[in-house]
Amino acid sequence: MMQVIQATVTQGHKVASGQATDSPYPQGSIEMQTPFFHKHGINLDDYYKATLNLSIAPYTFTIIAPQFIAKEVKWVDGFPAEDFSFSKAEITYAGKTYSGLIYYPHPETKLGHFHDNSVIEFITYYIPDIGYGDKVELKLNDASISIE
């Protein structure tokens, strides 16, 4: 069963895309992680190598049963392995629907660049003209993610 919630595009840390001036990952963490996710059966090849940060405030979310899990991913030297969960989702923006994946680096294995639990990171195709403050409709699998 799917649930639909309104979300607002919000600025993230710009580490996933590599656009942060102080990023330790100049090509972006998503680009660097993609080959490691392949080993777990998760294919991000066709998606834009960044995350779209979607605020669902005042609501929060909890991952309850992700569709894909990548455990102990050692994707960069000098840092410990991380766990990641992914769930299929869609957004609708400017009348067009884009499929993608909720990207959830587990906070207990992540070193930094945390989001509060009202910001969902979404990986999808390149979306022309989308920007901070834009409203989108987010469709989630309610068996995977709980919205409170």
Consecutive H or E run containing 37: helix 29-38
- From 2.40.30.30, 3.40.50.2300, 3.30.465.10, 3.40.50.20, which CATH number describes the 2-147 domain? 2.40.30.30
Residue 22: pLDDT band (50, 70, 90) is: low
**Structural tokens at position 23:** 């990023």
Locus of tokens 């779209």? 52
**Structural tokens at position 45:** 């090849």
- The answer on pLDDT for 110 being more than 80 is no
Distance separating alpha carbons of residues 108 and 82, to the nearest angstrom: 8
Q: Which pTM does this prediction carry?
A: 0.87
> Residues 78-108: pLDDT tens digits?
888 999 999 999 999 999 999 999 999 998 7
The domain ranges of the chain are 2-147
CB 128 within 8 A of CB 6: no
